[in-house]
Every structure is written in structure tokens, then in C-alpha cells.
């Protein structure tokens, strides 16, 4: 009687688990992005240092990594199912209109307010590049990643080990030699390179998991391990006993821990009431537009209303950000609708 090898059984189980993971991500993708966007927004706000809001200043930056991880996974599906032309057209359609509309509105408001908000030029890099929303580091970085994704997709399929080694080396070279020199001054070729490569590992991890269906249980085990390491390092850093390069170690550990973090997000989302899930989905649906406008609205309110109570400014900021994102997104959708009907 033929016996099925144990390795085949393990691979079948892991294959099923990764399929469950992919299916859950497809079902809750918008909600996961919503949680990530809420985290990013609270990470950027400095209205108050009162608990629990100050926790997001320390632990909220993971939201960007979630977006990049999910983007990596989604891009693999897009490349597998579409031609390169369709792939690039869809990426442009998703990013460019929102970036131009939100960026031009922000810059116009900045010019109208004049000297009263001049500090925004230093704080947010508001300037000529704002018309394309290039005052935000994530936009040029994600455009670069989208552009080179077909090459990365091919490398993952056929040259995975050299790619992993090269990416790790570039990440730590960037963290040790480049980032300490430029800091947050990313608006230059070397700055864009530094910020893009600092998030490249998590983007590649998303692409890898969408490409490969084996070793999932082992990947998930190490992912949970690195997530715990990232949390411990963050606590150590905040305790004042940090060492040189700890931020790069935290970022790298968090990136490897991203599948585990997504799994934890999924567990939370399954327990949410329909009303809360709808609210989280709103932040996910308008996540790009919220990202493009929320910091500008935050700092403009902070500058113009510095004597107003913090607890009044917080809901005003949140409401204005949500309304602006909703308005911009629907203007773009309506414009596409009119363009299609004319044809």
C-alpha cells in the first residue's frame, strides 16, 4: 500500500494555511488598510501627549509597513493576471489623480494663507513638488517600487537568495552610512534612495509570500519571533538605554514580523461589530487620500488655532481629514465616470 510521505503532508498543510491567509487578506484587505491608516494618522498627530494617544508616537509607524506589505502581495496578483501595460496603467490610475488633486489643493491653500503658515514649508516640505504630492516621502518611494516591481517579481522567482542577501546588505548600509547623514532630508536623489531602500524588505516580503506557497508555518514562526524582538527593542529604546543603530534593527525586525502582525490584525477584525468594521473600512477605502491630506490639515490647524483647546482640535482635524479625503476621492471617481460616458 502506497504511503504518503510526511513531507508531502506538511507541505499540503502549509499550502492550506497560506491559502487561508491569502483568502483572509482578500476579505479584510480594506479593513487592514483602515487600521494601518488610523495608526499612521495618530502617529503623525502631536496635539497631545496624553495616554493612550502618545502610544501611537512610539508604536504607530508600522502602518506604512502594512501598506507596503499588502502592496507587494497585490502587485504579484496583478502581474500574474495582466499584461505590463495594464499593470502600469492601473497603478497610474490609482495614484496619479489623487496625488495631483490633493497636492494642488494643498499648495493652493498654502499660497493663499501666505506668511501665516510659512513654517509649513520647513515642517512639511511644501513647495513646487507639492503639486504631485512629492512633499510626502511615501509617494516617490511607492512610485519607484511600482516601477521596478516586474523586475523584482522575476528576481523572486529565479534569483531569490541573491536578492535577499543584496536587499539585506543595502538596508544596513543605508541605515549605517546614509540615513544618519540625511536624517529626514529626503528630497534629493540620495534621500529618495535611502527612504525607498529602508522599506524595500517588507515590500519584497509581501511579494515573496504571494509568490511562494511553501514553508509558510516556518515563516510565520519566525515572523512572530521577530515581532516580539521588535517590540522588546522599541521598549528598550524608549527606556533610554538604546544603542547605536537600534532604529534600523527595530525596523528590520518589524518588517520580518509583518505576516504575524497581519495575522493579529485579522484576529481583531473578525471580532469587530459590523458598525466598527464599516468605520475601519472607511479609513481603508480612502487611505491614499487620507494620507495625502491629513498631515497638512493637522499642521495648518495647529498653526492657525494654537490657542484652541486640544480636545476640540482633535475631532476637527479628524473630521476635516475624512471629509477632504472623501470629497477628493469622489471628485476623481466622478471625473472617470464622465470620461467613460463620453466615449
Q: Please report which confidence band the pLDDT of residue 45 belongs to, taking 50, 70 and 90 as the band edges.
A: confident
Asked if pLDDT for residue 60 goes beyond 50, the answer is yes
pLDDT of 215: 76
pLDDT of 1: 42
% of the chain surpassing 90 pLDDT: 50
pLDDT of 2: 39
pLDDT of 4: 41
Nearest CA-CA partner of 106 in 130, 140, 129: 130
pLDDT of 3: 45
pLDDT of 106: 93
The span from the CA of 308 to the CA of 327, in Å, is 26
Q: Please report which confidence band the pLDDT of residue 6 belongs to, taking 50, 70 and 90 as the band edges.
A: very low
Nearest CA-CA partner of 285 in 105, 17, 37, 85: 37
Q: Please report which confidence band the pLDDT of residue 236 belongs to, taking 50, 70 and 90 as the band edges.
A: confident
Question: What b-and-e string marks burial along 21-51, b requiring 16 or more CB atoms within 10 Å of the CB?
Answer: beebbeebebbbbbbbbbbbbbbbbebeeee
- Tell me whether residue 122 is exposed, middle or buried, using C-beta atoms within 10 angstroms of its C-beta: 0 to 12, 13 to 18, 19 or more: exposed
Asked if pLDDT for residue 296 goes beyond 60, the answer is yes
Q: Please report which confidence band the pLDDT of residue 147 belongs to, taking 50, 70 and 90 as the band edges.
A: very high
The span from the CA of 269 to the CA of 260, in Å, is 14
Asked if pLDDT for residue 89 goes beyond 50, the answer is yes
Asked if pLDDT for residue 219 goes beyond 90, the answer is no
pLDDT of 114: 84
Write the pLDDT tens digit of every residue in 260-294. 999 999 999 999 999 999 999 999 999 999 999 99
Cite the DSSP H helix spans in the chain: 6-44, 55-59, 62-81, 84-113, 120-123, 138-158, 160-173, 179-182, 189-198, 200-211, 216-238, 246-256, 258-271, 274-285, 287-304, 310-342
Least confident of 27-36, 65-74, 159-168, 334-343: 334-343
Task: Check: pTM over 0.85? Answer yes or no.
Answer: yes
Asked if pLDDT for residue 328 goes beyond 70, the answer is yes
pLDDT of 340: 84
Region 64-90 average pLDDT: 94
pLDDT of 200: 92
Average of per-residue pLDDT values in the chain: 86
Amino acid at each position: 500500500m502506497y504511503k504518503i510521505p510526511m513531507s508531502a503532508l506538511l507541505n499540503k498543510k502549509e499550502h492550506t494555511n497560506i491559502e487561508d491567509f491569502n483568502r483572509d487578506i482578500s476579505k479584510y484587505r480594506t479593513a487592514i488598510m483602515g487600521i494601518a491608516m488610523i495608526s499612521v494618522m495618530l502617529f503623525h498627530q502631536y496635539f497631545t501627549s496624553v495616554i493612550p494617544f502618545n502610544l501611537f508616537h512610539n508604536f504607530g509607524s508600522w502602518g506604512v509597513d502594512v501598506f507596503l506589505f499588502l502592496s507587494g502581495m497585490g502587485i504579484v496578483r496583478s502581474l500574474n493576471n495582466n499584461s505590463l501595460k495594464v499593470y502600469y496603467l492601473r497603478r497610474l490610475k490609482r495614484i496619479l489623480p489623487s496625488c495631483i488633486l490633493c497636492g494642488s489643493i494643498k499648495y493652493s491653500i498654502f499660497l493663499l494663507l501666505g506668511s501665516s503658515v510659512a513654517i509649513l514649508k520647513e515642517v512639511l516640505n511644501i513647495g513646487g513638488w507639492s503639486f504631485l504630492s512629492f512633499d510626502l516621502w511615501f509617494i516617490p518611494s511607492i512610485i519607484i517600487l511600482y516601477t521596478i516591481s516586474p523586475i523584482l517579481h522575476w528576481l523572486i522567482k529565479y534569483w531569490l537568495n541573491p536578492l535577499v542577501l543584496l536587499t539585506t546588505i543595502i538596508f544596513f548600509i543605508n541605515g549605517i552610512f546614509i540615513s544618519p547623514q540625511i536624517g529626514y532630508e529626503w528630497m534629493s536623489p540620495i534621500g529618495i534612495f535611502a527612504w525607498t531602500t529602508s522599506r524595500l524588505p517588507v515590500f519584497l516580503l509581501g511579494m515573496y509570500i504571494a509568490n511562494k506557497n511553501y514553508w509558510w508555518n516556518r515563516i510565520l514562526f519566525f515572523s512572530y519571533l521577530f515581532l516580539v524582538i521588535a517590540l522588546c527593542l522599541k521598549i528598550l529604546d524608549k527606556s533610554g538605554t538604546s544603542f547605536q543603530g537600534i532604529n534600523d534593527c527595530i525596523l528590520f525586525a518589524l518588517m520580518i514580523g509583518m505576516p504575524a502582525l497581519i495575522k493579529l490584525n485579522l484576529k481583531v477584525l473578525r471580532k469587530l461589530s459590523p458598525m466598527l468594521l464599516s468605520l475601519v473600512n472607511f479609513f481603508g477605502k480612502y487611505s491614499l487620500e487620507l494620507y495625502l491630506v491629513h498631515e497638512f490639515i493637522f499642521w495648518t490647524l495647529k498653526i492657525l488655532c494654537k490657542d484652541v483647546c486640544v480636545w476640540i482640535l482633535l475631532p476637527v482635524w479628524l473630521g476635516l481629514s475624512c471629509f477632504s479625503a472623501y470629497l477628493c476621492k469622489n471628485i476623481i471617481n466622478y471625473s472617470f465616470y464622465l470620461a467613460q460616458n463620453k466615449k
